[in-house]
């Protein structure tokens, strides 16, 4: 059974997508990530997806280069070319995209509007749940139930 991105998003316990603007300070973005216990924020210009900023961006473009985060804007370190998916796409395809692209987050866009954020953890949880259900059904079948 193939699951769609929409079905995976629907099964998430919390579907909040936190965002910042390109002009937000890097410090404010990192503080928001720390407060919310998340690893990435979408970057929005109005309702348009402008990019994504992650802990990885911070480490590679700020910490390692010893740049002061208070003087930097999110636009200075964000990833601007973002791979997105639509709600109708196959979750397995998303796992391939994330694995091949070494991505941890995929914004979900419909009609040019951001509707969710899919993480690698969301997909792994979904796969584990599917496998547990399959094992349960096979065990019932073997027992003749």
Looking up residue 51, the CATH number of its domain turns out to be 3.10.580.10
Q: Which DSSP string do the residues of 29-54 spell out, in sequence order?
A: HHHHHHHHT-SEEEEEETTEEEEEEE
Q: What's the pLDDT at 138? A: 85
Q: What's the pLDDT at 132? A: 81
Q: What's the pLDDT at 47? A: 83
Residue 140, token pair as written in the block: 């019932």
Q: What's the pLDDT at 64? A: 83
Q: Which domain holds residue 39?
A: 5-143
93-121 tens-digit pLDDT = 999 999 999 999 999 999 888 989 999 98
Number of domains within the chain: 1
1-48 tens-digit pLDDT = 578 899 998 887 767 899 999 999 999 999 999 999 999 999 999 888
In degrees and rounded to multiples of 5, residue 11 shows phi and psi of -85, -10
41-61 tens-digit pLDDT = 999 998 889 999 999 999 999
Q: Indicate yes or no: pTM above 0.75.
A: yes
Q: What's the pLDDT at 136? A: 85
For residues 6 and 113, what is the distance between their CA atoms, to the nearest angstrom?
Answer: 14
More confident residue, 129 or 40: 40
For residues 39 and 3, what is the distance between their CA atoms, to the nearest angstrom?
Answer: 24
């Amino acid at each position: 059974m193939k699951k769609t991105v929409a079905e995976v998003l629907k099964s998430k316990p919390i579907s909040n997508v936190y965002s910042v603007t390109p002009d937000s300070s890097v410090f404010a973005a990192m503080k928001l990530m720390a407060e919310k216990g998340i690893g990435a924020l979408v970057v929005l210009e109005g309702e348009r997806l402008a990019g994504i900023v992650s802990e990885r961006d911070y480490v590679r473009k700020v910490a390692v280069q010893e740049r002061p985060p208070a003087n930097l804007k999110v636009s200075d370190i964000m990833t601007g070319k973002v791979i997105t998916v639509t709600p109708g796409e196959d979750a397995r395809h998303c796992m391939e995209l994330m694995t091949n692209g070494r991505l941890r987050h995929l914004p979900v866009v419909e009609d040019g509007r951001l509707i969710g954020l899919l993480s690698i953890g969301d997909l792994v949880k979904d796969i584990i749940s599917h496998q547990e259900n399959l094992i349960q059904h096979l065990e019932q079948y073997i027992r003749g139930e």
